[in-house]
């Protein structure tokens, strides 16, 4: 009689344990063990428990191929989350069988050992059949659907309740997510303001009435400095959407800025033409917003502009805006605003640029280029790669919670009656058209990080990426892009949104009046009538806090609560990666020590391992 030592690890989150019957069968090259009920004195399979059992076989099983877990109902149905199973054969080494999935209902699950294997590494028919069966089962529950034409396909789920249990938030995450927005509106005294739809604030200082408790050091800094030109330029590089800025060697034909117009903004002894050649002139071009349908909120039209903004890297003052045109077609009704214009006219022009920034940042850089792009790889991975595949093991930690947060986004944020429709100028039809425009010209190369300020936002007709990956180098780059997008890129766009948007005039979600056509007609009344009203301001502040705050169950980049890789070489690589991240963290902290306004969004400890919010 052969005796095998089996340990079973239950999940650590709330409700992971079970009172149901759990059976195990060990499958080896030479046969199977007895189907064994796992039952020790006392309670088994409690939350966080690692239970040990003895499983017998009348003969040696040879090399272990599979561990078969079987859950059967006892009294009431009780789901169970299994982390892993280990098996120690007589006189042999312990073998780890990762699970990391929910067992719901009466179900059998066959687990492979943790060693990563591609299909060509499997010769046994039984293991090849296991790969096929696993994918066939997954393809039944993870299905593609076209949520809207012209944007990436997504998971077939109308609400989060339609998702498989393995794709759902854990209970603690779900509770926190659903209560945090309620907290923002009620506990922070926003509710009494949020009902005041259509009522404008009296003056800019009025925005402080919703700013007293929901704030951060950067948000407070915004409140103090948002009107200053250097801070406008600072946000172009250090805000949530630095991809918009591009070096300008030649002015666009539809932006007729002359050297005389901006000479007062230049350093002594130089001019616009010279600085264009030197590469110290930069451009923000929001042409993608041109003609996008505007939202109507409770019967009141909202407005969008497609501005052009010229910036100059002043040797003493830093990156400064020097000319703004609030439309793509120059003319008498589309004047070029300059820093020497009346202060309110120049301020209002900058507000319009920041409003355009909100639309592009939230809809394109954040929603489309991180959430929706990563979801494509998430669904494809679940449908095409078995859990034993090395690429599945590599990507799985970076796809955690992505399906649920995206499904909630489609049903609660960007739906026909979602939050965007209630508060954002591109809400409704405009949001979809904007996303379609970007996706049509989205390139695989544009998802890769850049090291300079070339015209990287210029659109081309090249496809998003080739249909096939032919070399190991191409595969490595592709996987790096997926991991980068789901971690670093998402952190860069998401984590600072409250900091930059909490002071509403700095980055308004909507504008309630059309862009100004007369530089001399700007008044404070016009500014206040254009900015979001009281209700919209409250929702902008609450939503950006809700989505941008640090998550209580966040798993930082390089940390893995689920150990899909079990081989020593892979574990060594992971440990080396963590050590490198620690060095990067120390370097970033050192760089920020003497800065008045620190940039800490990309500290590895603040980058989540996946898109969870």
| Residue ranges of the binding site for Ca(2+) | 17, 39-40, 78
Lookup: tokens for 198:
């259509």
**Binding-site sequence positions:** 17, 39-40, 78, 366, 371, 490, 613
Distance CA 590, CA 593 (A): 5
Separation CA 498–CA 496 (nearest Å): 6
The residue whose two tokens read 């920020």 is 592
Question: Distance (Å, rounded) from C-alpha 391 to C-alpha 374?
Answer: 15
Q: Are 434 and 414 in contact (CB under 8 A)?
A: no
Distance CA 168, CA 512 (A): 38
Do residues 608 and 560 lie in contact, with contact meaning Cβ atoms separated by under 8 Å? Answer: no
Contact by Cβ (8 Å): 276, 251: yes
CA separation for the pair 343, 333 (Å, rounded) = 19
Q: Which string of DSSP letters, residue by residue, matches 328-341?
A: SS-BTTB-EE-TTS
CB neighbour list of residue 150: distance below 8 Å, 6 or more residues apart = 432, 435, 436, 439, 440
**Bridge partners (DSSP) listed for residue 102:** 81
- CB 442 within 8 Å of CB 461: no
Helix, strand or coil, per DSSP, at residue 490: helix
C-alpha 430/C-alpha 416 separation (Å) is 11
Q: How far is Cα 153 from Cα 375, in angstroms, rounded to an integer?
A: 8
Write the DSSP string, 418-451. SHHHHH-TTTTHHHHHHHHHHHHH--TGGGS--S
Residues of the binding site for Fe cation:
366, 371, 490, 613
Contacts of 147 (CB under 8 A, 6+ apart): 153, 154, 410
What distances in angstroms separate CA 523 from CA 200, 506, 530, one per listed residue?
A: 14, 18, 11
Beta partners for residue 247, in sequence order = 282
């Amino acid at each position: 009689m052969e005796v095998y030592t089996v340990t079973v690890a239950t999940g650590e989150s709330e409700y992971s344990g079970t009172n149901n019957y759990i059976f195990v069968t060990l499958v080896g090259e030479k046969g199977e063990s007895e189907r064994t009920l796992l039952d020790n004195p006392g309670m088994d399979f409690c939350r966080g428990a690692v239970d040990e059992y003895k499983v017998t076989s009348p003969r040696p099983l040879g090399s272990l191929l599979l561990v078969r877990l079987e859950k059967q109902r006892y009294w009431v149905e009780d789901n169970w989350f299994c982390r892993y199973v280990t098996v120690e054969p007589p006189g042999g080494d312990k073998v780890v069988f990762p699970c990391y999935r929910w067992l719901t209902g009466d179900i059998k699950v066959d687990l492979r050992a943790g060693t990563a294997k591609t299909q060509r590494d499997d010769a046994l028919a039984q293991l090849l059949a296991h790969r096929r069966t696993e994918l066939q089962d997954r393809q039944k529950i993870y299905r593609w659907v076209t949520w809207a034409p012209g944007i990436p396909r997504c998971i077939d789920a109308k609400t989060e309740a339609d998702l498989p249990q393995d794709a759902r938030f854990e209970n603690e995450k779900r509770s926190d997510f659903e209560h945090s927005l309620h907290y923002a509106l009620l506990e922070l005294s926003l509710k009494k303001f949020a009902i005041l739809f259509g009522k404008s604030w009296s003056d800019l200082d009025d925005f402080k009435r919703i700013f007293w408790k929901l704030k951060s050091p950067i948000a407070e800094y915004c409140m103090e400095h948002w009107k200053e030109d250097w801070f406008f330029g600072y946000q172009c590089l250090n805000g949530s959407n630095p991809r918009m800025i591009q070096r300008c060697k030649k002015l666009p034909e539809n932006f007729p800025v002359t050297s005389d117009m901006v000479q007062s903004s230049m350093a002594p002894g130089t001019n616009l033409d010279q600085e264009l050649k030197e590469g110290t002139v930069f451009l923000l071009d929001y042409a993608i917003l041109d003609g996008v349908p505007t939202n109507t909120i409770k019967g009141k039209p909202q407005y969008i502009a497609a501005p052009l903004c010229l910036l100059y890297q002043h040797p003493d003052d830093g990156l400064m805006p020097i000319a703004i045109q609030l439309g793509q077609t120059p003319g008498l009704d589309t004047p070029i605003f300059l820093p020497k214009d009346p202060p309110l006219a120049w301020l209002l022009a900058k507000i319009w640029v920041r409003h355009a920034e909100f639309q592009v940042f939230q809809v394109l850089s954040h929603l489309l280029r991180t959430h929706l792009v990563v979801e494509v790889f998430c669904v494809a991975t679940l449908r095409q790669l078995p859990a034993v595949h090395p690429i599945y093991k590599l990507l799985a930690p970076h796809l955690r919670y992505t399906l649920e947060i995206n499904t909630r986004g489609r049903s609660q944020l960007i739906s026909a009656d979602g939050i965007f429709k209630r508060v954002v100028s591109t809400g409704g039809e405009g949001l979809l058209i904007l996303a379609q425009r970007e996706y049509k010209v989205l390139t695989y190369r544009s998802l890769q990080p850049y090291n300079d300020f070339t015209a990287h936002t210029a659109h081309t007709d090249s496809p998003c990426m080739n249909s096939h990956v032919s070399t190991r180098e191409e595969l490595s780059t592709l996987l790096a892009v997926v991991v980068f997008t789901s971690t670093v890129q998402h952190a860069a766009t998401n984590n600072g949104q409250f900091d930059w948007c909490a002071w509403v005039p700095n980055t308004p979600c909507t504008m309630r009046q059309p862009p100004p056509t007369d530089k001399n007609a700007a008044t404070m009344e016009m500014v206040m009538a254009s900015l979001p009203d009281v209700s919209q301001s409250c929702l902008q502040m609450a939503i950006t806090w809700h989505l941008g705050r640090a998550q209580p169950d966040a798993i930082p980049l390089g940390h893995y609560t689920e150990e899909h890789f079990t081989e020593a070489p892979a574990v060594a690589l992971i440990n080396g990666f963590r050590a490198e991240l620690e060095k990067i963290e120390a370097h970033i902290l050192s760089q920020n020590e003497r800065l008045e306004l620190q940039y800490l969004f990309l500290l590895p400890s603040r980058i989540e391992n996946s898109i969870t919010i």
